[in-house]
Amino acid sequence: MQKPPSTVPTPPRWAYLLTAVYSLVWLAAWASWLWVPWERMWLVALQTITFACALPVASGWLLWCWRGANPSRVNRFLSATGAYVLLWQLALFSAGHLAWSAAASLLGRLGTVGLFLIGLSWTIWAIDRAGQRRELARRLAHAEQRPLEAMPTHDAGADAAARTSDPLDPQAWYYGRHNAKLNQSITALGAYSIAFVLIVLFFSQLGGCRDLYEMPAGGGQQQQLAQTVKVQKIIKKKFVVNPFSAISFKVPPIDEVKLQLTEITEHAYTVGYGAGAGAGFAGGSKQGKVRFIRLEYAGGDWDQDFGIGADVNMLVEYGVRTSQKVAERTESRTIAQLKSFPAEKSPPMVYLTGQRNISLSDSEIKVLREYLLEKHGMIFGDNGGSGHFHNQFLGMMRRVLPNVRPTRIPLDDTIHRIPYQLPFLPYVAPHGGKDALGWRVDGRLVCYYHPGDIGDAWTDDHSGVAPEVYEACYQLGTNIIFYAHTEYSKWLASRKRNK
Amino acid sequence: MAGIPKTQQVSQVERGSVDRSGWSRQPDCRRQPTSRRRTWSWRLAGLTCLLMLLNGGGAVAERLDELPLDRWKELREVERYQLNIAEKYYREKNWKVALAEYEKFLTLYERSVGAPYGQLKWSLCQVQLRKLNTAIKEGFQSVIDYWPESPEAIAAAYYIGQSYKDMGEVRKAKTAYQAVLDEHPQHLAAALAAVDFVDLTMIDDDIKKRLELWKLLTFEMPRTRESQRACETASRSLAAYDFEFAAFDEGVAALATTYSEPQLPTQVVSVVRAPLGRLVADDKRRLQGEKLADQTAAWLQAQAPAAGTTDEAKQAARQHGYLVADVRTAAREAEQVAETYEQILSKLGNDDETLGRYAAWLRSNSQFAEARRQYARFTDAIEGQRLIGDSFRQEQNYDAAISAYQANLARDVENGARWHEQIAATYRSAKKYNEAIAVYEQLLKSDPQQTEKWLWATATTYRDAGKYKEAIGYYRQCNNFPNNYSEMAACHRAMKDYQEAIILYGQIVGGAPNSAAWAMLQIGHTQEQAGNKELAIKAFQQVCKSYPKASYASQAHAHLQNKYKITVTLGGGTDK
């Protein structure tokens, strides 16, 4: 049966030109998305438009190449590859902006695997094609010299004479005499895999170099929030004192005190640190925001309740309670990525939770140590659900800071007092006991460990705990974030002075 | 004064609870008649004398958080009364009330001799309430600032260091401890500071400072009843360090500061064993270990008691021989261990203790046949036979073990129950449950005085045999609630009779408050096994809600989240 003629024309010349221009714009948008740390509305809008244009561009080329008048197999697969890259990045960008962190993470991994396989297919095709061309050229040359011997017979002496050192030629001497094609394929696979890994590493490192954390600019006082007081009634007190009493007694001049507090006390200061205007921190920047970064680690469930649940609620609560600028969404970083933050632009605090194993390599341990000690960071650990995690966390910290012992953090410690005075330590379930533990270096808490799943109290349903408990959990979270940022701000100020 | 709110100062006046004579009018303590007061004073004086005699005439309080008796005497009656109330709550660990009572004491009797003590105890209450910063800044420091000459000021200086240590402020703690050591080197506070300081040197592995502190505690610190333990520990640690680094004589000298001549060899061996074990286990330092073993053995030989023919002299010589054998055992010198025991036996004659030790060492080296040969030489044949039986059990040769116990049964008819129990236990180890049950049933008849024990053993054996109905029957006859109920419930669960199990767990919840959280959790698991998902969820949530402080709440919370993906677990609590 004859195939009906295609209704789709071949792509016009302007399409090639437009696609080339679009490719350049797309690359610029992609680079800015990956490596520019600050978020401006106009930049996000430009990125969104550019990535969204991928849909018509990819669709057009797929249509031309698959349903066009003169479709070739190479063009088909070339267009499919281009469309894959464009649509994959569009999906990643969308998931990131919709704060679907788990989906973004999954898309990132699956997409990379897909890209690897597509690249591998193209590599094999190219090598095979190049090999065929060389074989054909060799035969033609041989036929010109001795036409009768150009028959496809296997002559070892002739093969040996034809051996080269060209890696695209299966007859290259280092592929051996037997299974030369197989050896060439294995070599190609190995070389391609190494090159792919190196490229991925290069891009991830390049991206990390530009990862910055900037605190919101401003100032404030590191003080306890004033308690709300409302005096309802003033009672005139009378005292009967026996002047002959054997007790040394001094009547306080209480009558001189005029209690006139008839209104609820209001905040008389700004929550922050430094002399700047507005709630924020000295050493911050205008575009800076308080961000909530969760630490990714191997072996367990680092992403427990990650996404729109607990972390975001805490971040929003922090913003409302302190009037400081906060990020729109929460983030996660691997320990390796933590290394990429420069010294004075690294996150003051990272959050680590889970209920299973924590498996860290020696290099990751080193990165964490450097983050805590040299970059003045802080880990906020939260036991997400087991006694096992408690031991895992303590074991991890023993490796990170072998010369620091965990101690129970007193209730009147700065971290439990400012901005909220906590009369008790709240918890959802006592997975790791009932005491908050702290690792202190030079008087500063470099790690705060909450034993009882504080993150669950931050979720929308607050895990059903009593209001005073989840309110205290928000207050504790606020205190910890504030403590980390204040200490970081102090450190920045001292470094500035020393310079 | 720091730490004393003014409202507290007026509170006593407001309530009119202080009268002319200074007696507090507490609801539980009315004014006492003069005669009773006098009696009480006499009793106190008598107690003071007794304690002074016990302390060798010294009137200094031995503990840092206790007021010396001579200063108790200096207090006025009213002051003593108030302080006693505070002390009572302090002893009862009711820290909040004790804190308030000390504060009241300080408000009322600011100029009292006991005021620094009251302030110190107020601070210690703050420490217990986990307000260490308040304790340091408003408590201990106030003692030092307002009463610098008082004995409590020294204690406060030490407690500042301890509080810093507990907070993880290592540098500040070290500074505080060093100040105590420099300013009051002979005081008990210095001994305690040195002990804590040693612990801090472990963190940064400052061996030089640690050695300095151990030497201070061992050789220079006066030994009192309270400091004795710290000094003893330090001397042992110093000796262990010296032994490990080839300074045997120094190690012995350190121990000699604590132990007198008859105890010294035993203590030297007890301390030398650990470093000796470490040295011989390390291939690089094995020679050093062997040298240490030889040195210790030679020293023990030099310390050996003079030979004699009396039983006491022989016993002393044997004990000495055991020490040599212990050293050789620690050095893993098997030939010399055997040789030492053989020498003891040949020189001092057969003795059950020596044979027993020898055989125990042989058993630890899996030389069971040789061990049994030694047991067979026992003068006390019944005990020897028991040990033979035990060695067969260790070897898992159960038939031979039973034969050995049965031989004892024939010899020692009076203690038949003991041997029957051993036989039954051996049958259980061999998983011959029917035979074991038969023996237990026989014991139930023949030994009614221990019925409870045999009922439990029979029930447990039935359970192990998988005969749950019979096990439940026997558990029901036991009186050790709630253990028997939990076992019965476990048997019902094994029989898939979940409702019965839930009823039994419910009875534990109602009748045993200490096991209620566990039982409620088990109800959840049982409902889950029975396929009642909703009831299981309710039970787990009940654990979280009713027992939020129990570790079972943690398990229930995690189970609800992981298995049922339920976040509303209804738990939550505080550390109050």
What is the domain partition of chain A in residue ranges?
13-209, 274-498
Contact A22, A44 (CB under 8 A): no
Q: Report the chain B residue with the minimal C-alpha distance to residue A443.
A: B169
pLDDT at A25 (0 to 100): 92
pLDDT (average), residues A172-177: 82
Q: Which residue has the higher pLDDT, B216 or B36?
A: B216
pLDDT tens digit string along A25-37? 999 988 888 776 5
> Can you tell me which residue has the tokens 């009037």?
A323
pLDDT at A224 (0 to 100): 80
Does the pLDDT of residue B6 top 90, yes or no?
no
**Lowest mean pLDDT: which of A148-157, A244-253, B434-443, B526-535?**
A148-157
Please give, rounded to a whole number of angstroms, the shortest distance from the CA of A428 to a CA of chain B. Answer: 4
pLDDT tens digit string along A76-100? 888 899 999 999 988 888 887 775 6
Does the pLDDT of residue B102 top 50, yes or no?
yes
Does the pLDDT of residue B237 top 90, yes or no?
yes
- What are the boundaries of each domain within chain B? 259-348, 496-576
pLDDT at B20 (0 to 100): 31
Contact A204, A31 (CB under 8 A): no
pLDDT at B308 (0 to 100): 73
pLDDT band with cut points at 50, 70 and 90 for residue B10: very low
Please give, rounded to a whole number of angstroms, the shortest distance from the CA of B363 to a CA of chain A. Answer: 37
What rounded mean pLDDT belongs to chain A?
Answer: 84
pLDDT band with cut points at 50, 70 and 90 for residue A247: low
- The b/e string for B446-455 (b: 16+ C-beta within 10 A; e otherwise) is ebeeeeebbb
Residue contact A407–B9, C-beta within 8 A: no
Q: Which of A424, A428, A456 is closest, CB to CB, to B576?
A: A424
pLDDT at B1 (0 to 100): 37
Instruction: Give the C-alpha distances (Å, rounded to integers) separating B421 from A352, B415, B433.
Output: 55, 10, 13
- The b/e string for A82-104 (b: 16+ C-beta within 10 A; e otherwise) is bbebbbbbbbbbbbbbeebbebb
Please give, rounded to a whole number of angstroms, the shortest distance from the CA of B30 to a CA of chain A. Answer: 17
Does the pLDDT of residue A257 top 90, yes or no?
no
Please give, rounded to a whole number of angstroms, the shortest distance from the CA of B562 to a CA of chain A. Answer: 9
pLDDT tens digit string along B453-472? 999 999 999 999 999 999 99
pLDDT band with cut points at 50, 70 and 90 for residue A8: low
Using an 8 Å CB-CB cutoff, list chain B residues near A249. 13, 18, 108
Nearest to B292 by CA among B261, B322, B326, B331: B331
pLDDT at A216 (0 to 100): 92
Please give, rounded to a whole number of angstroms, the shortest distance from the CA of A427 to a CA of chain B. Answer: 5
**Lowest mean pLDDT: which of A176-185, B287-296, B361-370?**
A176-185
Of the ranges A60-64, A152-156, B163-167, the best mean pLDDT one: B163-167
Q: Which of B9, B14, B167 is closest, CB to CB, to A410?
A: B167
pLDDT band with cut points at 50, 70 and 90 for residue B473: very high
Whether residue A429 lies within 8 A of chain B, CB to CB, comes out as: yes
DSSP conformation class of A285: B
Of the ranges A263-267, A447-451, B37-41, B561-565, the best mean pLDDT one: A447-451
Instruction: Give the C-alpha distances (Å, rounded to integers) separating B468 from B463, B487, B518.
Output: 5, 10, 22
- What percent of chain B stands above pLDDT 90? 80
Please give, rounded to a whole number of angstroms, the shortest distance from the CA of B335 to a CA of chain A. Answer: 42
Whether residue A427 lies within 8 A of chain B, CB to CB, comes out as: yes
Interface test with A, best of B125, B130, B138 (most A CBs within 10 A): B130
Q: Which of B10, B541, B575 is closest, CB to CB, to A425?
A: B575
Phi-psi region at B57: left, alpha or beta (left = phi > 0; alpha = psi -120 to 50): left
Does the pLDDT of residue A312 top 60, yes or no?
yes
Whether residue A174 lies within 8 A of chain B, CB to CB, comes out as: no
Cα separation, B369 vs B388, whole angstroms: 9
pLDDT at A183 (0 to 100): 86
pLDDT (average), residues B204-228: 94
**Lowest mean pLDDT: which of A108-117, A272-281, B17-26, B152-161?**
B17-26
Nearest to A473 by CA among A457, A452, A451, A450: A457
pLDDT (average), residues B131-154: 96
Q: Which residue has the higher pLDDT, B26 or B313?
A: B313
Does the pLDDT of residue A293 top 70, yes or no?
yes
CATH superfamily of A274-498: Domain of unknown function DUF4159 (3.40.50.12140)
Q: Which residue has the higher pLDDT, B275 or A258?
A: B275
pLDDT (average), residues B66-71: 90
Whether residue B176 lies within 8 A of chain A, CB to CB, comes out as: no
Whether residue B552 lies within 8 A of chain A, CB to CB, comes out as: no
pLDDT (average), residues A327-336: 90
pLDDT band with cut points at 50, 70 and 90 for residue B30: very low
Q: Give residue B332's Cα distance to chain centre.
A: 31
- Segment holding A295, helix H or strand E: strand A293-296
Does the pLDDT of residue B295 top 80, yes or no?
yes
- What percent of chain B stands above pLDDT 70? 89
State the angle between helix axes of B286-303 and B264-281 in degrees (0 to 180), rounded to the nearest 10: 160
Nearest to B257 by CA among B221, B310, B225, B291: B221
Count of pairs with CB atoms under 8 A, one residue in A, one in B: 165
In sequence order, the 6+-apart residues with CB closer than 8 A to the CB of B527 are: B498, B502, B533, B535, B536, B539
**Lowest mean pLDDT: which of A10-19, A365-374, B185-194?**
A10-19
In sequence order, the 6+-apart residues with CB closer than 8 A to the CB of A137 are: none
pLDDT (average), residues B244-257: 94
Residues 133-152 of B with CB under 8 A from A: 133-134
pLDDT at B533 (0 to 100): 95
Does the pLDDT of residue B428 top 50, yes or no?
yes
Phi, psi of A427, rounded to the nearest 5 degrees: -150, 160
Cα separation, A85 vs A87, whole angstroms: 6
pLDDT at A152 (0 to 100): 53
Does the pLDDT of residue A435 top 70, yes or no?
yes
Q: Which residue has the higher pLDDT, B68 or B86?
A: B86
pLDDT tens digit string along B547-572? 999 999 999 999 998 899 888 877 78
Residue contact B574–A241, C-beta within 8 A: no
pLDDT (average), residues A313-340: 91
Q: Report the chain A residue with the minimal C-alpha distance to residue B544.
A: A429
pLDDT at B60 (0 to 100): 39
pLDDT at A233 (0 to 100): 58
Residue contact B567–A456, C-beta within 8 A: yes
Give the DSSP per-residue string, B293-324. Answer: HHHHHHHHHHHPPPP-SSHHHHHHHHHHHHHH
Please give, rounded to a whole number of angstroms, the shortest distance from the CA of A440 to a CA of chain B. Answer: 6
Q: Which of A237, A250, A464 is closest, CB to CB, to B568?
A: A464
Residue contact B108–A386, C-beta within 8 A: no
Contact A260, A233 (CB under 8 A): no
Q: Report the chain B residue with the minimal C-alpha distance to residue A462.
A: B568
Q: Report the chain A residue with the minimal C-alpha distance to residue B110.
A: A248
Q: Report the chain A residue with the minimal C-alpha distance to residue B547.
A: A429
Whole-complex ipTM: 0.81
Bond preceding residue B116 cis, omega within 30 of 0: no
pLDDT at A252 (0 to 100): 56
Whether residue B2 lies within 8 A of chain A, CB to CB, comes out as: no
Tokens standing for A170? Answer: 């299966």
Does the pLDDT of residue B345 top 60, yes or no?
yes
Task: Taking the CA atoms of B486, B490, B493 and B497 in sequence, report the sign of the dihedral they define.
Answer: negative
DSSP conformation class of B218: I
pLDDT at A6 (0 to 100): 54
Cα pseudo-dihedral B564, B568, B569, B570, rounded to 10: -160
Tokens standing for A495? Answer: 């470094």
Does the pLDDT of residue A270 top 90, yes or no?
no
**Lowest mean pLDDT: which of A259-273, B53-67, B556-570?**
B53-67
pLDDT at B382 (0 to 100): 95
Q: Which residue has the higher pLDDT, A99 or A392?
A: A392
Hey, which residues does A285 pair with through a beta bridge?
A216
pLDDT band with cut points at 50, 70 and 90 for residue B527: very high
In sequence order, the 6+-apart residues with CB closer than 8 A to the CB of B74 are: B113
Whether residue A65 lies within 8 A of chain B, CB to CB, comes out as: no
Around Cβ B566, how many Cβ atoms within 10 Å?
Answer: 18
